[in-house]
Amino acid sequence: MDNKIVEIFIPGPAGRLEAKYYKSTKNTSPIALVLQPHPQYGGTMNNKVVVDTFHTFMENNFSVCRVNFRGVGKSDGEFDNGQGELADAAASLDWLERENFDNSQCWVSGFSFGSLIAMQLLMRRPEINRFIAISPQPNVYDFTFLSPCPASGLMIYGKKDELVPLEYINELDNRLKSQKGINVEFQSINDANHFFTNSENDLTKNLDKYIKKETSLF
Domain ranges of the chain: 2-215
Q: Are 36 and 48 in contact (CB under 8 A)?
A: no
Helix (H) or strand (E) holding 178: none
Q: Over range 106-121, report the average pLDDT.
A: 98
* Residues with Cβ within 8 Å of residue 120, at least 6 apart in sequence: 82, 86, 89, 145
For 155-184, the pLDDT digits (tens) are 999 999 999 999 999 999 999 987 888 999
Q: Are 88 and 78 in contact (CB under 8 A)?
A: no
pTM for the full predicted model? 0.97
Q: Does domain 2-215 have CATH number 3.40.50.1820?
A: yes
> Does pLDDT of 135 surpass 90?
yes
Q: Are 4 and 23 in contact (CB under 8 A)?
A: yes
For 8-31, the pLDDT digits (tens) are 999 999 999 999 999 999 999 999
Q: Are 210 and 53 in contact (CB under 8 A)?
A: no
